[in-house]
Structure 1
Amino acid sequence: MTNKIGFTIFICLVSSLFTFSQTKKSVATKKTNENITIDAELNEVSWREAEIATDFVSLEPKNGTPIPEEFKTEVKILYSDDAIYIGAKLYDPNPEKILKELVERDDIGTSDFFGVFINGYNDGQQEFRFFVTAANGQIDTNFTSSEGEDGSWNAIWESNAKITDFGYVIEMKIPYAALRFPEQKKQTWGLNFFREVRRERQKYTWSPIDNKIGAISQQAGILTGIENIKTPTRLFLIPYSSFYLSGSETQKTKGELKGGLDIKYGINDAFTLDAILVPDFGQTKFDNVVLNLGPFEQQFNENRPFFTEGTDLFSKGNLLYSRRIGQTPNLKLNLAENESIENIGAINLLNAMKISGRDKDGLGIGFLNAVTEKTIATVSNDDNDETRFIEISPLTNYNVTVFDQRFNQNSSVTFINTNVTRNGSFRDANVTGLLFDLNNKTNTYNLSGGVKSSSINDVDNKNGYNASLFFAETSGKFRYSLGGEYMSKDFEINDLGINFRTNYYSFSGNTNYRILNPNKTFNTFRINLNSYFEFYTPTNQIQSSNFNVNLNSTNKSNHYIGAGFNVNPFKNYDYYEPRAANRYFVNPTNMGGFLYFSSNYNNKFAIDFEPFMTHVLNENRYEAGVNISPRYRFSDKFSLVYGFNYFKQKNDIGWIDSDASNIIFARRDRDTYTNSITSKFSISSEMNFNLSVRHYWSLAENNQINNLNQDGSLSPNTSYATNKNSNFSTWNLDVSYSWWFAPGSQMSILYRNNADTFDRTINKDFGSNFSNLFEDNLNHVLSVSVRYFIDYNQAKNWIRKG
């Protein structure tokens, strides 16, 4: 109790220093008892009687200027016992020029669009945002002032769009089950409307947003008039069934049927329970695997919906890398030199659940728990073919707990804990963080940081900690930031998070200039000057440093132009590349730069082009490459994007091996080619075909073998004869069909094939490498998945009628 009182007093003291207020624009709504048909006609009597919200203002590029009369926008709001309705008339002098590309859900594509931002608590902290394109595409996001937009959040709502002779009309019905608001007789909600005229790249809002201030959600308007509504029972069931047919040239084709259930339940008006029983992630996007020659693991994006939806609370402090859940852990297996273990993929996830939300007092609570199964692998003796079994992953429980207290609309204090508990004698891990993010009353200055501690329970117990502090000016044309961080040697978060470097302290700084309104040359322009220094704590040597300047701009034709130059003027002492304690490799000074051009995507043909290069001073050692990606929109239904990346490293230096007396480094030449194709064909906004293809080829040829000396330099090694060259190729192809046949309900058909190969023989012929990739190596999977969304409120009506 004493700790709770102390925490409350601390919040009150900070609240007296950090406040935000401004004059609010408002609109009132009226209740309707009519049956509103979502047909973009707005012809019901209730629409004619509703108050109009108009007088939109430019967000960008001409911030603060009134919307031109020819693009006048009028919005009306109605409400009923179970939903809120939005009707918008969006005028356009040239309706035939309105962009309206058909794309799949949650993708705007090249389209005009309209959006509504709703904050049921009117606290300036969290908005549920709903967008509709001129082609009737739906996009919804969950916006928080600390994390920005979370596009993985999905809700069930209705919309329609129709092109007219004066522009286009949008009509929306958003059930209360998709929103959060308090149990009060009279509701006062935060509200804003958004419109983008895509061909002009003009963005407008109903409630003005001053771009000199970073606090967007705190500048929303007010919605009044909603009375005597009840927070609905938010219970959603999503049963699903999937069938997989898989095989390869070396394995027989086999079929597998899976089924499961997702549950979403609103515990109260603020908090939601999400649970998955018998998870099925077989149709998630493939990983872009690369040839990784560095000392750190490759980090992958999270593609599993459960771990991407509504996870803003769990991302606090960067302590959660959800790919750890279901990943084969890097545990000590005590294998003999003549033993090898079978290849093990992901560990099966038995179940997972999360509780998250925020109450009317600004307290956000997040609780995530997942359990993975015990996994046994086969170990083979290479000398006599005998086998034995070994437990590579015990029954494991993963847990994240978060308390995030927001106050005064623009500040927060966060407590977060992550815990991994493994059954038996395997290691356990616990990490705790206390974080803060404070802004002054005018949102012009920010102070953020925190402290974190970790505890590992293993054969050797370890305890570590991390502390950081950052200060920034966050408004105006000129802005700056300063910060510092310390991380102890034994700070360890990799059981449920991801972190590569420890045992250092660092300092960083940034100053930047931006234009707030267009000038004669640019619609947007920003230039940044950054610096970073990282020191290895035991010796105070620089292990990482960089100065860079970069600019980002959009010209009057809405082409994006960027450039950057960086220099590392000091020797860096790399304590990670040697893969041995207290050993380092000295990286010399280097400098480099890049250019970036991205033409206006509104045009049918557009292209992205980025050349880059880094040169090590006083050595014939460099890396250079180019990214090229042309795209063509054949019609509003069909588009194609091709991507090509070439990356070359000349005389790159890196670790290849270690023996009892030496750490072996090599000078190597490396060439990497990546080709990709993505394409879509949309029959409607609910029915889409998608193609995704990626071919990656990387080869690294060692030219000179060296020993790493104690002073971090290299000396020739003439006796090492093991071939450590690398030739790696991978191929992925996905062809999918998706049909949203009912709100929240989807059928998807996916054909996938993939292959990869690795050897030590360098073959620089592209054709033969490409053909070898598919030789007895191609895996095929055909899957069909159906998910059906059941809303308890609708289901009980079905039962009553029955």
Structure 2
Amino acid sequence: MLNNLKFNILLYFLCSFSALSQDNPEEIRKKTLQTRKISSSISIDGHLNEKEWENAETATNFVMYSPDNGKPIDQTKKTIVKILYDNNAIYIGAVLHDDEPDKILKEITERDNFGTSDSFGVYINGYNDGQQDFRFFVTAAGGQADCLATEQNGEDYSWNAIWESAAKITDSGWTVEMKIPYAALRFSAEEKQTWGINFVRELKRYRQTYTWNFVNSQIGAVIQQAGLLKGISNIKTPTRLFFIPYTSGYLSTDKENTDFEFKGGLDIKYGINDAFTLDAILIPDFGQTKYDNVVLNLGPFEQQFNENRPFFTEGTDLFSKGNLLYSRRIGSVPNLSITLDENETIDQYPASVNLLNAVKISGRDKNGLGIGFLNAVTEKTMATAYNETTGTSREVEIAPLTNYNVTVLDQRFNKNSSVTLINTNVMRNGSFRDANVLGLLFDLNTKKNTFNLSGDLKMSSLYELENTNGYNTSLYLGETSGKVRFSSGINYVSKDFDNNDLGINFQTNYTSWSGNANYRILNPNKTFNTFRVDLNSYMQYNNTTGKIQSNNFNINVSTTNKDNHYFGGGIDYNPFKNYDYYEPRTDGRYLVLPDSYGAWVYFSSNYNYKFALDINPYFTNTSEKNRNEYGITISPRYRFSDKFSFIYSFDIYKQQKNVGYIDSDETAIYLAKRDRDTYTNSITSKYSIKPNMNFALSVRHYWSYAENKNIYSLNEDGTLTENSSYTANKNSNFSTWNMDLSYSWWFAPGSQLSILYRNNANAFSRDIDKDFGNNLSGILKDNLQHIFSISIRYYIDYNQAKNWFSKA
């Protein structure tokens, strides 16, 4: 019966969507800009004083995108843009008038950080297919930002191209010049080119964004609403071959040891054709990546970390399809089951497994076919097992030589829809288990971009002593335009679905239903620049027992007032008891959680002011007496000048009578009611000498302790019975400290010198000292590790390098 119900729902959604897809809307109005070819050089200095600029056709008459969508730009802020091209690059010149040039905001920041600054950008789609933009921005301070953009994944600023730009403040506003080499773009090999293009200008002090070609905010698809660039002809896609050699040195010291390590390696980028690029890393070095924000994790699931390694973050939109790739698995701490003899223990696992090499191929052709291929190999890793009875040791293989592979085929069509096939595979040498996951996804939109139908079907397969298959499938329907929008969906996950060898997934064996309805204003009114209210619902049922695993109903409001201060808040209500099948850490057992309600508010003042404040108090209360949690985050920030800024954040989070697992044996599962306090202090500061030369400081101190008040045994019906015989100390007291002080100098396009001083420490104990000062001084005194490193990366373009040799 359940299967018939699912089939009928699917059939209804498909039929309804098919009918909606028959809409035949008017074509989006597209402006056209004609460019012309030049033979003389353009100096990228921000002055636009070359004669070639005088006769170039202009793009003007910008229209507001937000907050007052459709309003023409004021003539005092008139914006004029011109484009030229030659055999190697396109050139963009922009004159951005402003009747109050002394009020132009121009904070200096590192790359890809707009800060508090006006900005100008260009969106380029070389195939004019409405599928993917290459976006380039210049701030009024001269900083650069670039990203890849798709409707499905938004803007990906991890992608970095090599291009030139300059900005100048003038008596009548500011100007921009940009040179974007063809190597930074993707376009077809046709003799005559027609590109999709749009220009965007942000007036930061007003929080206003304007575009050249009007972008209707009622329609979700921005890329399809670009204008047209014509006139480019007889250009060739260049050889896209880049070498990035690097060298780095690390000096590490603590109270016991001092070590020095020297590394060198090479990254390669190669354009296979006009659409696809190969990236390879040889002898990887990730020693200067950002540290992880580790927490005291008392729950049944591992902590999920952000990916900070550049190779795995740059241009990875294809690999994120279906949420099947968690790239931190590659080179992570081994988590396989290891066979040990009686009385044997492994005192210390390695923090990570060495990555030997990695390769990825990605891109999209003119027909909308995206192909992604990622392959990485990690080395065999050993640890020492010690036998406490015999006093002997032996080497144990804890991670075999492992190959990780991801393959993606993503076909886009109708400029706004796609079907995707993705496969992830892990192969381990020897008798360790292998794993494979196959996923089929679809994302369909009506021609008007008013309705969306999306879903997926995923199958996981584990190959070990007994092979198992699991399934995960979902279907969602939503309205995506207008003031009032809705969405609804269903998700089914079988008990044996497991993609954790290369992905991350916490819960299985459930069916869930979700719904959303929201209202927003599309243009400012007398009180608000933006206003939105959401109603959300979620129900999750265990497939085996039918019990409710999770339930939530909430209402959230987010607004921006006329002074561009942000206000938000919400109310959560969980009216039913939950049956938690994960906290007991035993298959088939569950813990009953009480119904609850909570609320939160958020205020963020306008960052344009030198002083700004973020504040977010929140609480949750349950029907169980004295069982609740509450906290507050406070984050003031101050911009001393366009070069120097400082942000402090403090978060306190308290849980009273929280119930959690502490231990188990053959007779019982033991849980505790505990009081838990968590304090997080962090500082982020930067001093920018100029956009390509920055100092940055990042400090984080985290302290959390959980004090068990009462010990209980878990009953078969999910309730608790107090247990006085269990006496082991299972309190937890964890603290960690991290500090990074860095200097970064981009001394040539794509080439960087980085100097980093880092210290870090962490401590865990079963004994709790609630004195904050003692905790902080103790961790800094006894555990601190210091690391000083220097890294140099040099970017070599084959097209320039071959000229070096020819001149020699």
Distance in structure 2 (CA, Å) of the matches to 1:636 and 1:730 = 32
TM-score of the superposition, structure 1-length normalised? 0.97
Matching residue of 2:467: 461
Which of residues 138, 149, 171 in structure 2 aligns to 1:143? 149
For residues 721 and 625 of structure 1, the distance between their equivalents in structure 2, rounded to whole angstroms, comes to 31
8 Å CA contact 1:295–1:577 kept in 2: the answer is yes
Tell me what 1:54 maps to. 60
Residues 24-423 of structure 1: matches in 2 within 5 Å?
A: 24-251=30-257, 253-336=258-341, 338-341=343-346, 342-423=348-429
Q: CA contact under 8 A between 1:19 and 1:408: conserved in structure 2?
A: no
Instruction: Decide which of 619, 623, 629 is 2:629's aligned counterpart.
Output: 623
Matched residue type, 1:564: G
2:723 and 2:144 map into 1 onto residues whose CA distance is 62
Counterpart residue type for residue 682 of structure 1: S
Structure 1 residue 339, shift from structure 2 partner: 2.7
Cα separation, 1, equivalents of 2:180 and 2:268 = 20
Query: Which residue pairs with 2:706 in the alignment?
Result: 700
CA apart distance, 1:337: 6.0
Give, in whole Å, the separation in 2 of the partners of 1:508 and 1:20. Answer: 33
Q: Distance in 2 between matches of 1:19 and 1:304?
A: 44
Contact in 2 for aligned 1:536/1:543 (Cα 8 Å): yes
- Misfit runs of 4+, over 4 Å: 12-20
Distance apart, 1:336 and its partner CA: 4.6
Report the CA distance between 1:771 and its aligned residue.
1.6
Contact 1:15 1:407 in 2 (8 A): no
Distance (Å, rounded) in 2 between the aligned partners of 1:259 and 1:732: 26
- Matched position secondary structure for 2:216: coil
The alpha-carbon deviation at position 560 of structure 1 amounts to: 0.7
Partner AA of 1:793 in structure 2: N
Contact 2:20 2:451 in 1 (8 A): no
The 2-side partners of 1:15 and 1:373 are apart by 51
Distance in 2 of aligned mates of 1:124 and 1:436: 18
Pick from 595, 611, 615 the counterpart of residue 609 of structure 1. Answer: 615
What is the deviation of 1:14? 12
SS of equivalent to 1:775? helix
SS of structure 1 residue aligned to 2:44: coil
Displacement of 1:385? 3.6
CA contact (8 A) 1:637 1:681 kept: yes
- The match for 1:689 is 695
CA deviation string 1:600-647 (max 9, x = no partner): 000000010000000012421000000000000000000000010000
Asked if 1:496 corresponds to 2:478, the answer is no
Q: What secondary structure, in the 3-state scheme, does the structure 2 residue paired with 1:351 have?
A: strand
Report the equivalent of 2:782.
Answer: 776
After the TM superposition, which residues 390-539 of structure 1 pair with which residues of structure 2 at under 5 Å, given as runs?
Answer: 390-539=396-545
Q: Deviations over 1:668-709 (max 9, x none)?
A: 000000000010000000100000000000000000000000
Q: Which secondary structure does the structure 2 equivalent of 1:177 belong to?
A: helix
Gap change, CA 1:618 and 1:71, over 3 Å in 2: same
Q: Which amino acid aligns with 1:359?
A: D
Q: Offset at 1:34? A: 1.1
The C-alpha deviation readout for 1:87-111, integer Å capped at 9, x for no partner, is 0000111000000001111110100
Q: Deviations over 1:108-140 (max 9, x none)?
A: 010000000000000000000000000000000
Letter in structure 1 aligned against 2:169 = I
3-state secondary structure, aligned to 2:802? helix
Residue deviations 1:465-515 (CA, integer Å, cap 9, x gap): 111100000000000001001011101100000000000001000000000
| C-alpha deviation, 1:388, in angstroms | 1.1
**Match for residue 556 of structure 1?**
562
SS at match of 1:306: helix
For residue 343 of structure 1, report the CA deviation from its aligned partner.
Answer: 2.9
Cα distance per residue 1:523-545 (max 9 Å; x no partner): 00100000000000001110001
Asked whether 1:593 is paired with 2:603, we answer no
The aligned counterpart of 1:568 is 574
**Alpha-carbon distance between aligned partners in 2 of 1:683 and 1:499, rounded to the nearest angstrom:** 44
SS in 1 for 2:290: coil
The number of equivalent residue pairs is 790
1:635 equivalent in structure 2: 641
Between the aligned residues of both structures, percent identity stands at 66
Pair 1:129–1:574, CA change in 2 (3 A): same
Shift in alpha-carbon separation, 1:775–1:453, aligned structure 2, 3 A = same
Distance in 1 separating the partners of 2:489 and 2:643: 48
Distance (whole Å) between structure 1 residues aligned to residue 583 and residue 449 of structure 2: 43
Tell me how far 1:16 sits from its aligned partner.
8.1
Residue 144 of structure 1 deviates from its aligned partner by 1.1
Deviations 1:412-468 (A, max 9, x none): 000000000000000000000010000001000000001010100012211011111
* Distance in 2 between residues matched to 1:458 and 1:525, nearest whole Å: 53
- Indicate conservation of the 8 Å contact 1:18/1:408, yes or no: no
Q: Given the superposition, is the C-alpha separation of residues 228 and 13 from structure 1 closer, same or farther in structure 2, using an over 3 Å criterion?
A: farther
Partner of 1:63, secondary structure, is coil
2: CA distance, partners of 1:15 / 1:313: 26
Equivalent of 1:645 in 623, 647, 651: 651
Tell me the distance in 1 between the aligned counterparts of 2:437 and 2:21: 28
Which residue number in structure 2 is paired with residue 714 of structure 1?
720
Q: For residues 387 and 324 of structure 2, what CA distance do their matches in structure 1 show?
A: 39
Equivalent-residue separation in structure 2 for 1:601 and 1:775 (angstroms): 37
1:13, CA displacement in angstroms? Answer: 13
- Does 2:671 correspond to 1:665? yes
Give unmatched runs, 5+ long, in structure 2.
Answer: 1-17
Paired letter, 1:637: K
Matched to 1:203, the amino acid is: T
> Is residue 745–residue 789 contact of structure 1 (8 Å, CA) maintained in 2?
yes
> What is the letter of the counterpart of residue 283 of structure 1?
Q
What residue identity is the alignment partner of 2:282? L
Residue 774 of structure 1 aligns to a residue whose secondary structure is: helix
Is the partner of 2:232 in helix, strand or coil? coil
Q: Contact 1:610–1:627 (CA<8 Å) still a contact in 2?
A: yes
CA contact (8 A) 2:20 2:446 kept: no
Is contact 1:190–1:221 with CA below 8 Å preserved after alignment?
yes
